[in-house]
Chains A and B, each alone.
Chain A
Amino acid sequence: MFLKLPILVKLFFANEVWGENLVWLRGISGIAIALTDYFVSLLLIYGIYRREDRSFTLFLWLLTVFLLSGGTIHIFSLANIWQPHYWFWGYAQVLTAIIALIATIWLFFAIPQVGDFPSSQQIQHISNLLTQELDKCQSLDSKISNLNTQLEQKIDERTAELEQVNQKLTTEIEERKQIESALYRQIQLEQLIGYLSHCFVNIAPPELSSTIQKALNFISKCVGVDRSYLILFTQQNNKLQVTQKWSVPEFPSLSEWEQEIESKFPWIMTNIKSNVIVNLPELDHLPTEAERERVYLTTHQIQSLLIVPLFYGTTLKGIVALEALNQPKSWTERDTQLLKLTGEIIAGGIERCGQAAELANRTQQLEASNAELQQFAYIVSHDLLEPLRSISGFSYLLQEEYQSQLNPEAQEYIDFIKDGAARMRELIEDLLTFSRLGRQNLVLSQIDCEEIIQEVIANLAVAIAETNAEIHWVNLPNAIADRTQFIQLWQNLIANAIKFRNPKSTPKIYISATQKSQELIFTIRDNGIGIDSEYTEDIFNVFRKLHNHQQYPGTGIGLAICRRIADLHGGRIWVKSIVGKGSTFYVSLPIQEQQELGNEDDN
């Protein structure tokens, strides 16, 4: 069956032991095995390097070496046919055996592991499972990515919403802030207005100027202007005359507002007179007829101007003005309102001040004329005494020195002169006392009324002794009064009670005092002739007498003096009486005054 090879080849393959055919057989199979071994080992080496997990690497290396050495054995065994170097073949065999042994030992230990190796079916199964899992994973993944997209959408929506809310909040905060600042300004404004009205409500004329200055300062600060001023006018001969000026800060060019203001500022004054606010944020707003004003404003570098007229009732009292110098200022509603309000307050204050000054002036005039009158009364009464002294003095001397030379009729005449002079003196002295009451200031002090009554009784000792009058009193309190006047008061009342006694009985006088809520009331009751109720008020007037001089001598001033003393003490005097039974006089003193004066006294 073998090919008929050339002789040489035949020769080459044939030896004496091996037949040609056997050599062929062995040669071809040996080469094929060796080539296969080498090829497989090369594949293994390649596989080892390709595999990443490298499990069984040692075993594969052993197998590779085993195959290589197996291949080599075959080559050697072939070569041995012609060259009997058997040692090489033996070494290869030993090497192969060692490797096979090592591999076998390794396999022995690695068998359980190798057993774990999944079969291809298992791997297929696993692969299928994995594929399924992968599919699941992929579907999950797509779901997740779906969800993600949704989430992102939602996030976008929420962000947009949040932004919207945020913007809304920002707007709200801004609005709040605006409202707050408006409120703050309002409060500030109210405080300012409150403060100003407080300042101006009870303003005294001397404080007016400084208070207006203060008010201008406040307005300037509140509105934030460079200059503010206030000018007062009076109407004279149908023309406005500037009377007073204030400015913050000091404003030299205010001298423009001096005279002839109606012709200097015709447009402004027309507005002001018709109670129209002059609101000029810029000079461009000036109408063409306001040429003079334009010149004035430009000359003084006034950028913006706000003038509010000061009216009290229908009378123009003046103006308040605000000026912006550095840059134009558009006047807000609040500015005009503030200026208007403060203007009204100031106008009111100025008016009240004027009234107060006028009132004070009139009071002063009245007081002066009153004092003059009292002085007049005093001087008149005083000067009347001097001629009276002559009359009475010389009629006295006439009687003393020439009595023997005068007939009874002449004597009687002299008596009339003397009597007339005596009555006149009494009258003048009472008038003097009366007028002195108004001229002298009250000297108030805490007085012991019982002690006062005792002093009065001592003064009236003669009359009391002559009439056997009885005077009783109980628990008279202390009072705050002018001691001298109080003695006078009680002396007049007690003397009257004795004078107007009932001729049929001895005079009995009872003095007491009661404390009411508002006043301290003293009563003096007598058992005298009484007073007709018709005259109970009349008797307190000067020169009012109910009886002629012969019946009851007296000037008719005593009770007028009592009333004046009561008046001067802020109290009252009145009488209740029954004709024939007696009279009760009441004197009241206000309690509040008593306490106040008492406190002063303590101090």
Chain B
Amino acid sequence: MITKHRPLEILLVEDSCSDAKLIAKMFSLADLPHNLRIIDDGVKAISFLYQKGKYYKMPRPDIILLDLNLPKKNGLAVLAQIQSEPSLRNIPVIILTASASEQDIRECYRMNANCYLTKPSTPEDFCRTIKIIEDFWFNVAKIPYN
């Protein structure tokens, strides 16, 4: 449960514009004040997190939704960077990817991803999954809130 002195900051790292749009749509349907920032490659994601360049005014996210298959720097590398940085390490990272590879799953958990979800292929299931994320991470689970 989140105490709402301010909208929840969500960082979505997703290169598929349509997937990002769908996810955004799903979140918008939920009754939760939030800011969803969409970043479409790994390098930009790192800059965003370090508030570098044009992202210097960007807030530190409360939760990160990370795709694995990203241009320039893939999701695993981004995850590794987050985990190596003490100031970022306590941000929950949810992997949301099309890959169901056992190797990816293992690798992500090894690098302390907080949860690994595959993108469902039907829109109905997709909506359900986003709903579950909302329910669990924003309503049930306690996350650090700065």
Using a CB–CB cutoff of 8 Å, the interface residues on chain A facing chain B are 382, 385-390, 392-397, 422, 425, 428-429
Contact = CB atoms under 8 A, between A and B. Distances in A.
Given A382-B98, A386-B98, A397 B19 contact: no
B98 to A, nearest CB: 6
A393 B123 contact: yes
B119 A389 contact: yes
- Identify whether the interface residues of B are mostly helix, strand, loop, or mixed: helix
A397 B121 contact: no
Interface string B79-107: 00000000000000000001100000000
Given A389-B19, A397-B25, A429 B121 contact: yes
Contact of A397 (B22, B99, B119, B122): B22
A389 B124 CA distance: 11
B126 interface: yes
Contact of B19 (A386, A395, A429): A386
Contacts of A387: 18
A38 B18 CA distance: 186
A425 B124 CA distance: 13
Given A386-B19, A392-B121, 9 more contacts: A382-B98, A388-B121, A389-B123, A389-B126, A392-B123, A393-B123, A393-B126, A397-B22, A397-B123
Contacts of A396: 123-124, 127
27 contacts: A382-B99, A385-B98, A385-B121, A386-B16, A386-B18, A389-B18, A389-B22, A389-B121, A389-B123, A389-B126, A390-B19, A390-B22, A392-B122, A392-B123, A393-B18, A393-B19, A393-B123, A393-B126, A394-B18, A394-B21, A394-B22, A395-B123, A396-B127, A397-B25, A397-B123, A425-B122, A429-B121
B28 to A, nearest CB: 11
B105 to A, nearest CB: 14
A422 B124 CA distance: 11
A388 B19 CA distance: 10
Nearest to B15: A386
A396 B21 CA distance: 13
A314 to B, nearest CB: 52
Contacts of B126: 389, 393
A152 to B, nearest CB: 109
Interface in B99-146: 99, 119, 121-124, 126-127
Contacts, number: 45
Contacts of B22: 389-390, 393-394, 397
Interface of B: 16, 18-19, 21-22, 25, 98-99, 119, 121-124, 126-127
Contacts of A390: 16, 18-19, 22
| 7 A-B pairs with least C-beta separation | A390-B18, A396-B123, A393-B123, A393-B22, A425-B121, A392-B123, A386-B16
B65 to A, nearest CB: 15
A388 B98 CA distance: 12
Contacts of A393: 18-19, 22, 123, 126
A399 to B, nearest CB: 9
Contacts of A386: 16, 18-19, 98
A387 B98 CA distance: 12
Contacts of B122: 392, 422, 425
- Most A CB atoms within 10 A — which of B18, B21, B22, B122? B122
B68 to A, nearest CB: 12
Contacts of A392: 121-123
A395 B122 CA distance: 11
A599 B121 CA distance: 42
Interface centre among B18, B19, B21 (most CB of A within 10 A): B18
A8 to B, nearest CB: 186
B143 to A, nearest CB: 27
Nearest to B16: A386
A475 B13 CA distance: 53
Contacts of B19: 386, 389-390, 393
Contacts of B127: 396
Nearest to B17: A390
A386, A389, A390, A422 — which one has the most chain B CB atoms within 10 A of its CB?
Answer: A389
A392 B18 CA distance: 11
A422 B122 CA distance: 7
Nearest to B22: A393
B145 to A, nearest CB: 31
Contacts of B119: 389
A292 B62 CA distance: 87
A394 B17 CA distance: 12
Interface centre among A382, A386, A388 (most CB of B within 10 A): A386
A397 B23 CA distance: 12
A422 B120 CA distance: 12
A425 B123 CA distance: 11
A393 B22 CA distance: 7
Contacts of A425: 121-122
Contacts of B124: 396
* Most chain B CB atoms below 10 A, which of A396, A422, A425, A428: A396
A429 B120 CA distance: 11
